[in-house]
Every structure is written in C-alpha cells, then in structure tokens.
Chains A and B, each alone.
Chain A
Amino acid sequence: MDIEESLRKKIFTVTAELAPVKGTDLSYVVSEAVKIKDKIHGINITDNQRAIMRSSPLALSRLLVEKGISPICQLTCRDRNRLALQSDLLALSILGVKNILMLTGDTISSGDHPQAKAVFDLDAITLIATAKTLISGKDLAGKDLIGKPNFFIGAAVNPGAEPKELQVLQTVRKIEAGAEFFQTQLIFDKQVLEEFINLFEKEYISAEKLNLLAGIFPLKSSKQARFFNSKIPGVKIPDFIVERLESSADPESEGIEIAWELIKSLRPFIRGVHLMTMGNNRALEKLIDRINLEIIKPNVSG
C-alpha cells in the first residue's frame, strides 16, 4: 500500500528517506529499500540534498518502481528552471512515479559546488502549482499535453521555525497551490508541533488538510543533539532529552526509545511519521517494526 492509499484509509503512515549515490552504483541503496518495502508506505528520494551533487532522483525512483516500491520523489528548484522542472515532472510520470515532494531547495553555498549557479526560477509554492497545471493537461505556457501525468503532491513544513504565523501562512499557500500531504522538519518536542497545529487551525482550516507526517530522527548521542540544536533552523531538542542521552550507558538505544516515545505522544496531531534516519539502519528497522507491531497492526488509525 502506498502513501496516498494509507492516508486515504486513515492508516498510520510511515515513510523513510534515501539519498541517491554520488555515482552510478545504486545497488546498496536499492537493496536497503527492498529490505523495508513491505513495512512502509513510501520512501523519499532526495534531490542533491544540501546542494551536494548526486545522481538524479529520477533514476533511483525508477529503480524502486521496478522493485515494486513506492518512491516519493523530491524535486528542488535550485538546480532546474521551469522547463527542466516540467520535463522532469513529466518524466517521473512516464517512469511510473506518482508521489512527489515539491521543495524550494537548500542553498548552493552549503554544498560541494558552491560556485554553481543557483536557479530558483520557481519555488516550492509555484512548483506545486506547476504540478497541478500538468495534471490538468496543460503546461505553464498553456499548451495542451499529449498524455497527462497524475501526481500525489507533497510539501515540507518546519513547525519549529519562528515566527509560527509565517510558517502557517506558507503552509496555507502550499495547500491552496495544491499540496496534499506534508512532511515536517525534525521534531523532538511535542509542544512545538502542538502549537503549530493550534495556530494553523485557529487561523485557517482543519488540520485534517495537512495529512501531516512528523519528521523523526533517532538521536545517537548528546553531542549530536547539541550539534542539531545549533545547526538546524527551527530544531529544538529539549534539555531533558540531551540529559537522557548523556547519562545513558547505551545512548543509541536510548535515542531509539526516545524517538518511539515521541511518536506515541504525537499521535493525536499526526497522520504518520517520516523517518529520517540518515543511514542508521538499525534504528530505522527497530522503529518501523515497533510502529507496525504496536500501531498499524492493531488497526488503530492515525
């Protein structure tokens, strides 16, 4: 079952994330995806994340489709103009990819090609609108398409970013442009998400529209927690979590436990989780298994 279906059926939805390789050998990444394919509803494929050049997410997405796995192909506006973005969206549909995540894109200067030209001809909001235009059978020039794509369109949200009203505004603009589900930046504190959702519902519409998957990362150490707090905008790891990791004899396992407790506490506010485990496969498999065992199989909805 893929993410569109699991969200429609109100099943607690789980997605993971994989990066394509800097090179042509995708065999390891594909095998990792195959291992978890029956336990999750979708796998995000990142697009030159953090402006570090890697093989195009179109290629890895297609390889996953061939293995019966449902990719969620990310596309950013940093490396492509509106022609290339439309071309790649059409190509994704041709390659059998339906689920897409439309992003603005990390800054060029943070990557390994800092002198490259940053495009930003479109941004997340107008890229979402572009995908909707293509679905309707036309391109941005108003010309008719020979064969229309069909997409399930996702976007990103950062509930911890301040001011929250501005994040809420951007989220509403994305929904009104056509976004159908959202994955959040990493959440470590239930209160952060709760405040965002309360404000969203107060200002605009029911949070049902968000189809929200909380971004979850199992921390490995207190040092890592402090690093995240200082480096990732909008990420706030509460002191008590840092202390738990610091005082634990096995901080990695403690981190997984903390992530699981967080997932349980977030359940009233979310439709599922987006596990960004960044290569920590042990944590990924433990969390996926626990979610399947204790949330999905008992048939309790998100």
Chain B
Amino acid sequence: MIGTSNKDIATIKELIRPYKSFFLIGCGDCATVCKTGGEDQVKQFSGYLEKDGKKVNGWAVLEEACDLRLAKKLFREQESAINKSEAILVFSCGSGVQTVAEITEKKVLPMLDSLFAGGIENLSNFRELCSVCGDCMLDITAGICPVTRCPKGLVNGPCGGSNEGKCEENTELDCAWYLIYSRLKQRDEIGGLRKLRKIKNNRANSKPHKIKLQKK
C-alpha cells in the first residue's frame, strides 16, 4: 500500500489559485485507506472549493488511479465535465497523478505527497516496510528490512549510534539491526551475521523500472 499525506493547505491554495473550475479524481485503493483521496475526502474538498467561489464540474473515484485503462474510461464517460474544467485535481499517489496527466492536455495538480510503500497495522496506523530497492535481503535479516527501517539504510549495521536497541537518529525508533541481531541470535544464526559483508546492488534500483509480462 502506498502511504500518502495531504499537501499542506497553504501549498494547495497556491496550486489552485489560478483556476476557477475543476474536476476532482480520487483513488479507491491506497488513498482511500489513508483517508487522503477516497470518496469522503474528494467530496469534502469539493465542498471547500464551492464555498471558495470555485466551480466543481464533477468528481469521480477511480478503483485505482494508476490504471491507465480506468483513467481512459473515465475521460470518455465524463468528457464534457472534464472539458469544461480548467484544472484536474488528483487525490492519489504520484503514479495516479501521472497516469491522469498522460491522457490530457489540461492542467493536472497533485493534491497529495507520496511517502512510502508500506503495511497496514490497523486502520489508523500505517508503516513503511519496503524501500522497493530491487535487491531483497530479507532472507539474511530474519525478515526485517534494514534498508527501510534503518534511517541510514545500512546493510552491514548497526552503526556506532545504536544503543540499547534504539537509533541515534530518532531515539524512539528501534534500531533495525538490533532487531535483526536479536532475532538471529534467538535462532542461533549469528554466524551468518559475522560473515556478512554485503555490498548493495544499486543498479537493481535504477529508474524508471518497467515490467513486461511475456505472453505464453
């Protein structure tokens, strides 16, 4: 799940200031879970725009804003309302914003900041778990990702700032390498850690990635 947060209100005011009429697009997937781009949020923002004297020609929540087919379908079905709008506001992660921007000449504005790929602890708590680095070492680190959970992203940690299982950068944060060490120790697998001298393959993370499934 991609974690998103609302851009701050001052930034949003600045983004929409030059325009008078809008079409709003939300996302039914991650942004709905994060309560940043679901139906409630889109409707609420629509109300805010109208109170501000702006015109809202329509809104929709795509099942997934990053699905080009769904975006194209929406633009066919809502062609008239979208054409009347000076700008399109997208309440989704950057993937959704770019998918919409690809199929229109109209001004497309991101309403959110995309923060991380993560997991749902419960419906109010989301945490970053995966850095999408392409060089997964979770087999060696007892299922705990140091690239993500160590602020320095160290693959041979801990560093000299680790103390009592906490991180020097943020003393409320558990030291990821302390967690890894503890779990490996429990499983009697410390020998592997002693031998570990990993050098990261950053090429696995070179952008932009593409996946093409082979037709069988």
Identify B199's interface contact among A122, A124, A166, CB under 8 A. A122
Known contacts A120-B154, A125-B156; A161/B194 CB under 8 A: no
Known contacts A121-B202, A161-B160; A129/B197 CB under 8 A: yes
Q: Check A192 for interface membership: any CB of B closer than 8 A.
A: no
Q: Is the CB of B152 within 8 A of A107?
A: yes
Q: Check B33 for interface membership: any CB of A closer than 8 A.
A: no
Q: Is the CB of A162 within 8 A of B164?
A: yes
**For residues 171 through 216 of chain B, which have their beta carbon under 8 Å from a beta carbon of chain A?**
177-178, 181, 185, 190, 193-194, 196-200, 202
Q: Is the CB of A233 within 8 A of B161?
A: yes
Residues on A with C-beta less than 8 A from B200 are 121
What is the size category of the interface that chain B forms with chain A? 20 to 34
Identify A109's interface contact among B155, B169, B193, CB under 8 A. B169
Q: Is the CB of B162 within 8 A of A123?
A: no
Q: Is the CB of B153 within 8 A of A120?
A: yes
Closest A-chain residue to B198, C-beta based? A126
Q: Is the CB of A166 within 8 A of B178?
A: yes
Identify A126's interface contact among B152, B156, B160, CB under 8 A. B156
Q: Contact mask B134-166 → A, CB, 8 Å, 1/0?
A: 000000000000000001111111111111110
Closest B-chain residue to A81, C-beta based? B202
Identify A166's interface contact among B154, B158, B197, B198, CB under 8 A. B158
A272 to chain B, nearest CB (A): 20
Residues on B with C-beta less than 8 A from A163 are 164-165, 178
Residues on B with C-beta less than 8 A from A177 are 197
Closest B-chain residue to A157, C-beta based? B160
Q: Check B168 for interface membership: any CB of A closer than 8 A.
A: yes
Q: Is the CB of A173 within 8 A of B168?
A: no
Known contacts A121-B202, A166-B181; A233/B163 CB under 8 A: yes
Q: Is the CB of A126 within 8 A of B197?
A: yes
Residues on B with C-beta less than 8 A from A82 are 199
Residues on A with C-beta less than 8 A from B197 are 125-126, 129, 173, 177
Q: Is the CB of A104 within 8 A of B152?
A: yes
Which of B151, B157, B159, B198 has most A Cβ within 10 Å?
Answer: B159
Q: How far is the CA of A104 from the CA of B164 in the complex (A)?
A: 19
Q: Is the CB of B160 within 8 A of A104?
A: yes
Identify A173's interface contact among B155, B156, B159, B162, CB under 8 A. B156
Q: Contact mask A212-250 → B, CB, 8 Å, 1/0?
A: 000000000000000000000110000000000000000
Q: Is the CB of B181 within 8 A of A104?
A: no
Identify A104's interface contact among B159, B163, B194, CB under 8 A. B159
Q: Is the CB of A124 within 8 A of B163?
A: no
B194 to chain A, nearest CB (A): 6
Q: Is the CB of B190 within 8 A of A169?
A: yes
A241 to chain B, nearest CB (A): 20
Q: Check A26 for interface membership: any CB of B closer than 8 A.
A: no
Q: Is the CB of B160 within 8 A of A158?
A: yes
Residues on B with C-beta less than 8 A from A78 are 152
Q: How far is the CA of A165 from the CA of B194 in the complex (A)?
A: 12
A158 to chain B, nearest CB (A): 5
A280 to chain B, nearest CB (A): 23
Closest B-chain residue to A126, C-beta based? B199
Closest A-chain residue to B147, C-beta based? A120
Closest B-chain residue to A104, C-beta based? B159
Q: Is the CB of B194 within 8 A of A173?
A: yes
Q: How far is the CA of A91 from the CA of B155 in the complex (A)?
A: 27
A62 to chain B, nearest CB (A): 27
Q: How far is the CA of A63 from the CA of B196 in the complex (A)?
A: 38
Q: How far is the CA of A118 from the CA of B152 in the complex (A)?
A: 7
**For residues 144 through 167 of chain A, which have their beta carbon under 8 Å from a beta carbon of chain B?**
156-158, 160-163, 165-166
A81 to chain B, nearest CB (A): 8
Besides A82-B199, A104-B159, A125-B156, 18 other A-B contacts (C-beta < 8 A): A105-B159, A107-B151, A121-B200, A123-B157, A124-B156, A125-B197, A126-B156, A140-B199, A157-B160, A158-B160, A161-B163, A162-B163, A162-B165, A163-B165, A166-B162, A166-B178, A172-B194, A173-B194
Q: Which residues of A contact B (CB under 8 A)?
A: 78, 82, 103-107, 109-110, 118, 120-126, 129, 140, 156-158, 160-163, 165-166, 169-170, 172-173, 176-177, 185, 233-234
Closest 9 CB pairs between A and B? A233-B163, A104-B159, A107-B169, A125-B156, A161-B163, A162-B164, A120-B152, A158-B160, A123-B156
20 contacts between A and B (CB under 8 A): A104-B157, A105-B159, A107-B151, A110-B169, A118-B152, A120-B154, A121-B200, A124-B160, A125-B197, A156-B160, A158-B160, A160-B163, A161-B162, A161-B164, A163-B178, A166-B177, A169-B181, A172-B194, A173-B156, A233-B161
